[in-house]
C-alpha cells in the first residue's frame, strides 16, 4: 500500500519521506562522502568523474552538476545531505536556501531581515502566496535582452 | 540522588557557529542575537550544572541514510566535532558521562522507550552551537554532555506526544541515579524555519510565540500538534520543535520561566530561546 502523504498540499515544499529517501539513496550517500577533505578535493578536480563512481541516475548527476538544489530534491536529495555540496563550494546555508527561491542573494537576505517569508497565502497549494507554483521563480527578473 | 534543575531551549543555526568561529559576533547583523544570550550566559555561570543532557538532531552527520535511529543516546566518553563539509568547527572535544548515560539508557528502555545506544559518533553544529550560545568559546566545555540525537531528517520524526512521554521517562531515570548531580536538560532546534524549496525562508512568528507561551504554561496542549501542522505552519524544518517537548516532559508540570528571547532572523531561521526552571530544583 502506498504511504499516506497528507503533506503534498504544502506549497513549495518536498517532504523527505521514505519514497524520496529510497529514490535519493545514492545521491545522498555521494553527498555524505564530501565530509572527507580528500573526497572534496577529488570532486572539485573532476566532478563528472567523481559522480560516475556512484550508482546515481544520470538525472541526479546533471542536477548536481547544475547545482540546481530544487532539481536535486525532486530526484530524492535531502537538504541536510545536499548542504555538503554547498559546503564544498564554500556556500553558506543562506546562499543554498536562497538559491531555491529564484531570488538573488541580496533579495533573499533582505527578505529574511524583513522578518522572513510570510505564512499568509503559503499554507495550502492554490492560495496566492509567493511560494506558490504560479509565482516561481521569485525575485526581480533580469531585464530582457534587447536585440541589437 | 541526581536531579533536573532546569531546561534550556535554543535554536542551533550553523551560521551562528560560523559567526563565532570567524569572530563576527559584534557585527550589526549578529549583535541583537548575541545580546539576547548575555543573560543566559550569566545565568549558566551562576547555575552551573554537573551534567548537560543535550537533545538535538543530527544533520546527516553521524547518521547517513545507512542508519536512521529515531532516538539515539550517546554513552561514549567523548565525541569529536564533525567535519560537515566546511572543516570541523574549532570547538573543544565534547566529553560524555558514560555512567549516567548508561543508567538512563537502561532505565528508559525498561520503561518501554527503545533507544539506540551509540558508543562512537561525531557531533555536528546541532550539538555544538547551543553549547557555544550558553557557554561562549571556552578552552574546554565546563561539564560533561550526554547527547540524545532525535531523527527529524527522515519523515516521520517521533510525535510530539511521544517526545513528551519520553521526557517523563528521562526524568524518572535521572532521579533514580544515586550520585548527587545537578542535571540541566538542554535542547535545540526550531523555531519556525524552512531551508529548502521555493518556500524557503518561511517564518511564522505568531506560531512561535504561541509555542513559547504554551511551553511555559500548558505544554500538554503542544503534544497535540500534528506533524502536518508543524510543517504547514512552521515550515518543513519547523518540525524540529518536537524535540522541545522531550525537555519539557522532563520538567515538572509547574515551572518558573526564567528568561525568554526571540529574534528573526539568524540566517534562514527564527531563533527562540527560553529557560524554564523546576521550582524544586534549586
Asked if B12 is an active-site residue, the reply is no
Distance, in Å, from the CA atom of A111 to the CA atom of B198, rounded to the nearest integer, reads: 13
Cross-chain Cβ contact B231/A7 below 8 Å:
yes
Burial letters B149-163, b for 16+ CB under 10 A, else e: bbbbbbbbbbbbbbb
Using CB atoms, which residue from B64, B197, B268 is nearest to A29? B64
ipTM above 0.85, yes or no: yes
Overall average pLDDT of the A65-88 stretch:
97
Q: Identify whether the C-beta of residue B26 lies closer than 8 Å to the C-beta of residue B100.
A: no
Using CB atoms, which residue from A14, A113, A116 is nearest to B270? A116
Q: Identify whether the C-beta of residue A10 lies closer than 8 Å to the C-beta of residue B232.
A: yes
Rounded to 5°, angle at Cα B188 from A108 and B199: 25
Distances (CA, A) of B144 to A83, B49, B233, B244: 29, 9, 36, 21
Overall average pLDDT of the A76-104 stretch:
95
Among A134-143, B55-64, B85-94, the minimum mean pLDDT is found in A134-143
| Number of residues in chain A | 148
Residue B153 has which C-alpha cell?
Answer: 531528517
Question: For B163-194, what is each residue's pLDDT tens digit?
Answer: 999 999 999 999 999 999 999 999 899 899 99
Chain B residue numbers touching A138 (CB-CB < 8 A): 198
Mutate to test the interface with B, among A10, A36, A38 (most CBs of B within 10 A): A10
Long-range contacts of A62-65 (CB under 8 A, 24+ apart): A64/A27, A64/A30
Helices (H), chain A: 18-23, 25-33, 37-45, 47-51, 58-65, 69-74, 79-88, 93-99, 105-113
Distance, in Å, from the CA atom of A101 to the CA atom of A31, rounded to the nearest integer, reads: 22
Q: pLDDT at residue B281 above 80?
A: no
Q: How buried is residue A7: exposed, middle or buried, by Cβ count under 10 Å (0-12/13-18/19+)?
A: middle
Helices A25-33, A58-65: inter-axial angle, 10-degree rounding = 40
Res A137: pLDDT:
94
Write out residues 72-101 of A within 8 Å (CB-CB) of B: 73, 78-81, 83-88, 90, 92-94, 96-98, 100-101
Using CB atoms, which residue from A13, A32, A138 is nearest to B60? A32
First CA to last CA distance, chain B: 13
* Residue A1: pLDDT band with limits 50, 70, 90: low
Question: For B201-226, what is each residue's pLDDT tens digit?
Answer: 999 999 999 999 999 999 999 999 99
> Model pTM greater than 0.90?
yes
Res A146: pLDDT:
55
Give me the total of CB pairs closer than 8 Å, taking one residue from chain A and one from chain B. 165
Q: pLDDT at residue A27 above 50?
A: yes
Q: A73 φ, ψ to 5°?
A: -70, -40
Q: What number of CA atoms fall less than 13 Å from residue B194's CA on the CB side?
A: 32
Chain A residue numbers touching B229 (CB-CB < 8 A): none
Q: Identify whether the C-beta of residue A80 lies closer than 8 Å to the C-beta of residue A97.
A: no
Amino acid at each position: 500500500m502506498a504511504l499516506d502523504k497528507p503533506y503534498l498540499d504544502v506549497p513549495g515544499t518536498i517532504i523527505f519521506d521514505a519514497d524520496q529517501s529510497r529514490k535519493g539513496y545514492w545521491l545522498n550517500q555521494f553527498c555524505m562522502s564530501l565530509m572527507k577533505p580528500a573526497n572534496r578535493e577529488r570532486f572539485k578536480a573532476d566532478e563528472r568523474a567523481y559522480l560516475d563512481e556512484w550508482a546515481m541516475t544520470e538525472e541526479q548527476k546533471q542536477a548536481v552538476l547544475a547545482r540546481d538544489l530544487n532539481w536535486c530534491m525532486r530526484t530524492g536529495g535531502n537538504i541536510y545531505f545536499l548542504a555538503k555540496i554547498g559546503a564544498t563550494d564554500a556556500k553558506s546555508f543562506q546562499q543554498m536556501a536562497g538559491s531555491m527561491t529564484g531570488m538573488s542573494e541580496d533579495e533573499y537576505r533582505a527578505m529574511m531581515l524583513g522578518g522572513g517569508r510570510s505564512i499568509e497565502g503559503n499554507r495550502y497549494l492554490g492560495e496566492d502566496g509567493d511560494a506558490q507554483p504560479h509565482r516561481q521563480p521569485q525575485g526581480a527578473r533580469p531585464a530582457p535582452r534587447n536585440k541589437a | 540522588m541526581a536531579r533536573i534543575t532546569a531546561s534550556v531551549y535554543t535554536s542551533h543555526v550553523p551560521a551562528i557557529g560560523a559567526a563565532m568561529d570567524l569572530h563576527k559576533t559584534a557585527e550589526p547583523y549578529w549583535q541583537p542575537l548575541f545580546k539576547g544570550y548575555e543573560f543566559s550566559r550569566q545565568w549558566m555561570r551562576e547555575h552551573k550544572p554537573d551534567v548537560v543532557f543535550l537533545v538535538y538532531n543530527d544533520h546527516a552527520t553521524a547518521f547517513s541514510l545507512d542508519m536512521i535511529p529515531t532516538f539515539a543516546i550517546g554513552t561514549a566518553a567523548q565525541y569529536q566535532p564533525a567535519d560537515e563539509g566546511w572543516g570541523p568547527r574549532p570547538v573543544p572535544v565534547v566529553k560524555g558521562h558514560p555512567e549516567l548515560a548508561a543508567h538512563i539508557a537502561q532505565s528508559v528502555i525498561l520503561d518501554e522507550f527503545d533507544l539506540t545506544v551509540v558508543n562512537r559518533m561525531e557531533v555536528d553544529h546541532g550539538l555544538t552551537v547551543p553549547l557555544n550560545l550558553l557557554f561562549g568559546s571556552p578552552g574546554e566545555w565546563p561539564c560533561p554532555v550526554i547527547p540524545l540525537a532525535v531523527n527529524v531528517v527522515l519523515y516521520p520524526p517521533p510525535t510530539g506526544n511521544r517526545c513528551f512521554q519520553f521526557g517523563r521517562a528521562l526524568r524518572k531515570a535521572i532521579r533514580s541515579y544515586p550520585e548527587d548531580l545537578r542535571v540541566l536538560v538542554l535542547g535545540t532546534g526550531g523555531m519556525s524555519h524552512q531551508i529548502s524549496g521555493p518556500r524557503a525562508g518561511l517564518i511564522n512568528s505568531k506560531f512561535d510565540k504561541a509555542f513559547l507561551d504554551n511551553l511555559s504554561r500548558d505544554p500538554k496542549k503542544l503534544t497535540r500538534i500534528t506533524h502536518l501542522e508543524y510543517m504547514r505552519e512552521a515550515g518543513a524544518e519547523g518540525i524540529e520543535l518536537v524535540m522541545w517537548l522531550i525537555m519539557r516532559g522532563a520538567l515538572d508540570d509547574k515551572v518558573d520561566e526564567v528568561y525568554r528571547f526571540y529574534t528573526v532572523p539568524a540566517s534562514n531561521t527564527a531563533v527562540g530561546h527560553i529557560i524554564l526552571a523546576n521550582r524544586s530544583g534549586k
